[in-house]
Structure 1
Amino acid sequence: MNATADRVALVTGAARGQGAAIVRRLVADAYRVTAADLAIDELITGTAEFGDQVLPVELDVTSPEQWRSAVDATVSRFGALSALVNNAGVLHRASIADETPGAFENSWRVNCLGPFLGIQAALHSLRRARGAAVVNTCSTGAIRPFAHHAAYGASKWALRGLTQVAAAELGPDGIRVNAVFPGPVQTPMLDETTQARLAQRATLGRLGQPTEIADAVAFLLSEQASFITGSELVVDGGQCLQIG
């Protein structure tokens, strides 16, 4: 069997930005990929160029039933699932005084519960795979505090903890679990005004590109990272070096 024949990944938040870049990079690395997103029409259009190598599926990451369907569709189509990239996320800003319980909870549901449900749904397949790995997209908001980001920061701190627990628990099963911590990246998640402000303050004088996050994810999934689990790879252009 070809050494790459069992490289099958499921990537969430795959319709645009970092997720789309991760799908493209994994396809280049000879993965077959299930690309999952709520924006199914955009996803189908964006992945059409990859033909049979990419399966687009609609997925609400807060739904256990939809997670099970996505994993089942992946295994049915490709015969295995060896890599899970929990990239879907929401960025929500509000002061503590103005935050609402519903908005706070929604950030947690998408940014932390979603990855948990994904790991849980994929676990049986990952245990059967060779070189299985999970990468969670965390954030520098789980390293340092940003005002008006209580919901987002708290949810990403929770994801950071989940990553560590999953790495400790699933390591004996041969499943590596790591997290990538992007800083400000030029994606539709940030409006143009915010992008300009962050670029002006950036240590390297620019924002990150989605491809640079995709490169980090691809490394953590690869055989070159076979002895790395529970790791936190910060890809922030020096944002965490700044004071204040």
Structure 2
Amino acid sequence: MGKLEGKVALITGGAMGMGAADAALLASEGATVVVTDVDEKDGNAVAASIGGHYRHLDVTSEDNWREVVADVVATIGNIDILVNNAGVVAFTPVATTELAEWNRVIDINLTGVFLGIRSVVETMKAAGGGVIVNLSSTAGMMGYSNLSAYVASKWGVRGLTKAAALDLGRDNIRVVSVHPGGIRTPMTAGLEGNEMYASQPIPRIGEPDEVARLILYLVADATFSTGTEFIVDGGATVGQALNV
């Protein structure tokens, strides 16, 4: 029997990359996985490959969140696990970032996480508790040039996680944040050989399944952890190595 038998897990941005890897691993441990995304073709393909379910979800839409959660509860069961994985990036310096682009990144990366948390509270209470994993980034731990909107959104996710953990702990709902560094996904296409990875203690880009395994630990085994950051970055945020 898998670690997640009888559990229902909803994953946002599950059509590719880290979300698809999360979906596959949680399903392999017995969870009934609901893959959500705006990409219907790839979302359905991922769901079919793991024996799960696909639902169209725009994470920035309050109404869409309400509809999807209500449908999942009615047709599958109460949600035990939420992985807020959906995210986008914009490579623009602060001085030339357009307001529309800023709003797009904040809406998907931060407001989408807020709406997700809020939308599953009642179903998790009905289930007797649950776990919410919010995907932040190493950009939620340190600054990066040319990524002002992305960095702001990911720091926001880190803070929101702590506030939500305080609000929901007595309801037996744990909330944690995961902070990946460079991971081989469509978002990092073309950056695999970037010199910044070579300078890490583990000198390579990470793989989606390495993040997924951390998420499995958090939802299945880290039963005394809430409101905290879990970093999976090859040591990128440890510090600077000095050649002396």
Give the TM-score category using the shorter length: over 0.9
Deviation at 1:105, TM superposition (A): 1.3
> Where does residue 74 of structure 2 map in the other structure?
76
Name the aligned partner's letter for residue 26 of structure 2: L
> Where does residue 125 of structure 1 map in the other structure?
123
Deviation at 1:93, TM superposition (A): 1.2
> Where does residue 154 of structure 1 map in the other structure?
152
Name the aligned partner's letter for residue 27 of structure 2: V
> Where does residue 198 of structure 2 map in the other structure?
200
Deviation at 1:202, TM superposition (A): 3.2
Name the aligned partner's letter for residue 138 of structure 1: S
Q: Is contact 2:183–2:207 with CA below 8 Å preserved after alignment?
A: yes
Q: Is contact 2:23–2:50 with CA below 8 Å preserved after alignment?
A: no
Please list, as runs of the form range in 1=range in 2, the aligned pairs for 1:25-104 lying within 5 A after superposition.
25-51=25-51, 54-104=52-102
Deviation digits for residues 192-220 of structure 1, max 9, x if unmatched? 1x221143333212111100100111111
- How far apart are the structure 1 equivalents of 2:185 and 2:200? 16
Deviation at 1:3, TM superposition (A): 8.8
Structure 2 gap segments, 5+ residues each: none
- How far apart are the structure 1 equivalents of 2:86 and 2:172? 24
Deviation at 1:69, TM superposition (A): 1.5
> Where does residue 142 of structure 1 map in the other structure?
140
Counterparts in 2 of 1:160 and 1:4: CA distance versus 1, 3 Å: closer
Name the aligned partner's letter for residue 211 of structure 2: I
TM-score by length of 1: 0.93
Say which SS state the counterpart of residue 97 (structure 1) adopts.
Answer: helix
> Where does residue 178 of structure 1 map in the other structure?
176
Q: CA RMSD in A?
A: 1.6
- How far apart are the structure 2 equivalents of 1:47 and 1:33? 8
- How far apart are the structure 2 equivalents of 1:31 and 1:74? 14
Counterparts in 2 of 1:119 and 1:243: CA distance versus 1, 3 Å: same
TM-score by length of 2: 0.93
Q: Is contact 1:126–1:175 with CA below 8 Å preserved after alignment?
A: yes
- How far apart are the structure 2 equivalents of 1:95 and 1:3? 44
Say which SS state the counterpart of residue 187 (structure 2) adopts.
Answer: coil
Say which SS state the counterpart of residue 189 (structure 1) adopts.
Answer: helix
- How far apart are the structure 1 equivalents of 2:145 and 2:132? 30
Deviation digits for residues 152-211 of structure 1, max 9, x if unmatched? 00011111110000000000111000011001001111121x221143333212111100
Give the aligned length: 239
Deviation at 1:49, TM superposition (A): 2.3
Q: Is contact 1:6–1:80 with CA below 8 Å preserved after alignment?
A: no
Deviation at 1:4, TM superposition (A): 5.0
